[in-house]
Amino acid sequence: MASKLVRTLDFYPSRCPIHAPITKDDILQRKTESPDAEVLVHPECDPEVIALADYVGSTSGIIDYVSNSPRDKFIIGTESGIMHKLNQISPDKKLIIADLKLICPNMKSITLHKIIHSLETMQTKVTVPEDIRAKAAIALEKMIEYTS
């Protein structure tokens, strides 16, 4: 992400626990197994992994890339839940997950039943002060802009 900006960023030294397990060696191994596959990764991957990618983008960016690409083989470096959607929209394409450990327990805890319950009861409504909401909205919009 910092490479797309014209200023220096001072990051908190942390990593996404879902994307951190993907290593350069994982990608190189998948490329050895499928040399004609394009590598598509999430921007939260390690810079060494990103350097090997043919495309770096958000989950929706990866989905759009696969569905619009004339290519037919892809190595996917993001949360494994994306594979279901990719197989639905591009059943004729060969999709290879970069690492089987790419499962986000937080994403898996959100179910349709829980969303419906939340909307019907409004019991889990979260509110924040307007000044914080406004700053967060700007940050989210920039993140989407830089990763799309």
Over the chain, what is the mean pLDDT?
86
pTM strictly above 0.85: no
Give me the sign of the Cα torsion angle 44, 46, 49, 50.
positive
DSSP sequence for 38-88 = EEEE-TTS-HHHHHT-SEE--HHHHHHHHHH-S--EEEEES-TTHHHHHHH
Which of 35, 15, 17, 36 lies closest to 99 in space, CA to CA?
17
Contact status, residue 87 vs residue 73, Cβ threshold 8 Å: no
CA–CA separation, 104 and 77 (whole Å):
13
Domain regions of the chain by residue span: 2-107, 110-148
Tell me, which fold does domain 2-107 have in CATH? Rossmann fold (3.40.50)
Measured CA to CA in angstroms, residue 33 lies from 30, 49, 97 at distances of 5, 17, 12
Reported residue count of the chain is 148
**Is the per-residue pLDDT at 129 higher than 80?**
yes
pLDDT at 76: 95
Which of 50, 54, 57 lies closest to 35 in space, CA to CA?
54
Neighbours of 59 (CB within 10 A): 15
Q: How confident is the model at residue 115 (pLDDT cuts 50, 70, 90)?
A: confident
pLDDT tens, 15-55? Answer: 777 777 888 999 999 999 999 999 999 988 888 999 999 99
